Structure 1
Amino acid sequence: MPPTLRQRRLGVELRKLRERAGLTSTAAAARLGFQQARMSMIEAGRYAVSADRVRAMASSYSCADHKLVNALTEMTGGRTRGWWDAYAEFLPPALLDLAELEHHATRLRVALAIHIPGLLQTVDHARVLFQGVVPPPMAYQVEHRLSYRMKRQVVIQGERPIPYTAIIHEAALRMQVGGAATARGQLEHLLKMGELDNVTLRVLPFGSGAFPSTGQPIDYASGPLPQLDTVQLDAHHGCEFLDAEAELAKYRTVLDRLEANSLDPAASKEFIYHLVRNA
């Protein structure tokens, strides 16, 4: 079974620590008392490491960032078993990685120009979207995707909801996905979700001017430390995950600009309510 996004990320961070110490993988492996092949497997996320091993590696690399080391130890122990594993036979691995990423996130910020965020979609709205995928999916494939999307929503509606900020362009709010009744139901659902203490809705109206990005959906998942954040971008070919420091800084800036150009939460709710009244 291929390593998950979380396993790969742990390997990447351990490699960064080694490189900052100025060590080759061969030299680092010799210091730690195992073969270079194992080091390569660890840094590729293909070999599970224990918390004690991570601490030993960090010590060997003279890493004095105890918060980072502690955060990395929390990522050890092999694959995280979660509800998403039940979909392994039906969905691409990247979607399972997305669910795992959201499960471990401390905060989520999303921005969309022409779609309602997946974690805020109704069943009827999501079904219409899945049925319109090219090439057309089989009925059972639609139901698998639909079930998966609804279960993802546990991160903002479950027993341990995390802070969630959604920046939604007016274009997405005005699209009649599934017809007038489905569209109205989706808007009403947004208002309901906006009442949750952990959910913040911000509308980016047409009058706000240029959209400071390509319009590609952005999903920013905060980790226990800023350097462990992850950006997920949607594309026609699937999910793309970014974690380089420059990329994280770029998308934090993009989201900050989008928030600055959007309506505040109270005005955003009033904007959506106005759309519902006139639907």
Structure 2
Amino acid sequence: MRTNPTGRQLRFGTELRKLRERAGLTSTEAGQLMGIKQTQVSNMEAGRVGVSAERVHTLASHYDCMDRALVQALSDMTAQRVRGWWEEYREILPGSLIDLAEMEHHAIRLTAGITAHVPGLLQIHDHAREVFRQVVPELSPPDIEHRLSFRIKRQAVLFNDSPTPYRAVIHEAALRMQFGGPAVTKKQLRHILDMSEHKHIAVQVIPFAAGAYPGSGQSILYARGAVPQLDTVHLDQSHGSALLDAEAQLDKYRVLLERMTDLALGPHASREFIHDIAQDL
């Protein structure tokens, strides 16, 4: 039995619980239908034990779930028990960062809305190092190096054989923030321009002139799952990160990102905007 389920394992169990609750069944009643103990149902829903694809379909049948796409997506999750590269950092970095990397790895599409920082997936080495130097409480040199290597490895989702489609909506403030000084900032902006040339990557800028907009104080990463019910929102905050998956929360952040995208310049105009900022440095 797992003592520390990963964020993905917890999410899988949560979705099983939602199916049961929609069916109006208690965990005891579900166990009776399955011929298992109530504790086993609870352990499945808490991510503490593995669940086979066959059992997912059996549970869905008992719960009268007619959403075939959701059931298949949950079934597919049982076959994706890979030990990812992020596991080597599990004893070194906060669990929330490990869950973020795993979420990005399994997402079918990623959308970021950023106000004050360049998105982590687009940061160059020198920029990221300076970001970590500003963390409070201060990180030790080894901790900075661990976080730096972890951040760079996360970027593989944009470079592998089947790169994840990615859209970054970045406020002008993040582009003008000089982490590491003018030379590093210019190099960082050039990198964003280079990345935006890839077909699977779209970068849009919200200029200061666009004025106020909802969600302006947050750094948002929206990870789209195989079905909308499996979408996840990652919020990066000063006191730590958070993963959100409640239906109302997902609806809220879809709207926020849609509004940010509508306010932003188009991809071509954004590249010209970034180029002009770099030229001024």
Deviation at 1:80, TM superposition (A): 3.3
Distance 1:172 1:78, change over 3 A: closer
1:248 to 244, 247, 250: 250
Structure 1: where are the runs of 5+ without partners? none
AA aligned to 2:161 is: E
SS of the residue corresponding to residue 203 of structure 1 reads strand
Q: Distance in 1 between matches of 2:176 and 2:10?
A: 39
Alignment of 1:99-248 (within 5 A): 99-248=101-250
Q: Distance in 1 between matches of 2:63 and 2:183?
A: 60
Kept in 2: contact 1:155–1:162 (CA 8 A): yes
Kept in 2: contact 1:48–1:78 (CA 8 A): no
Kept in 1: contact 2:20–2:26 (CA 8 A): yes
Distance 1:259 1:78, change over 3 A: closer
AA aligned to 2:112 is: V
Match of 1:69 in 2: 71
Deviation at 1:137, TM superposition (A): 1.1
Kept in 2: contact 1:4–1:79 (CA 8 A): no
Match of 1:272 in 2: 274
Matched-pair identity in %: 54
Deviation at 1:211, TM superposition (A): 2.3
1:27 to 26, 29, 38: 29
Q: Distance in 2 between matches of 1:22 and 1:211?
A: 40
Deviation at 1:47, TM superposition (A): 1.1
Report the RMSD for the aligned CA atoms in angstroms.
Answer: 1.1
The one-character-per-residue Cα deviations of 1:76-96 (angstroms, maximum 9, x if unpaired) are 258531000111121011111
Deviation at 1:131, TM superposition (A): 1.2
Deviation at 1:66, TM superposition (A): 1.2
Alignment of 1:258 with 2:260, yes or no, is yes
AA aligned to 2:280 is: N
Match of 1:54 in 2: 56
AA aligned to 2:47 is: G
Distance 1:226 1:78, change over 3 A: closer
Kept in 1: contact 2:115–2:216 (CA 8 A): no
Q: Distance in 1 between matches of 2:161 and 2:81?
A: 22
Deviation at 1:27, TM superposition (A): 0.3
Q: Distance in 2 between matches of 1:24 and 1:135?
A: 45
Kept in 2: contact 1:49–1:77 (CA 8 A): no
TM-score, normalised to structure 2's length? 0.97
Number of equivalenced pairs:
279
The one-character-per-residue Cα deviations of 1:22-72 (angstroms, maximum 9, x if unpaired) are 111100011001100111111111111100111110011111111111100
TM-score, normalised to structure 1's length? 0.98
AA aligned to 1:254 is: L
Deviation at 1:176, TM superposition (A): 1.1
Kept in 2: contact 1:48–1:77 (CA 8 A): no
1:42 to 44, 62, 74: 44
Which runs of 4 or more aligned residues in structure 1 lie more than 4 Å from their structure 2 counterparts after TM superposition?
A: none
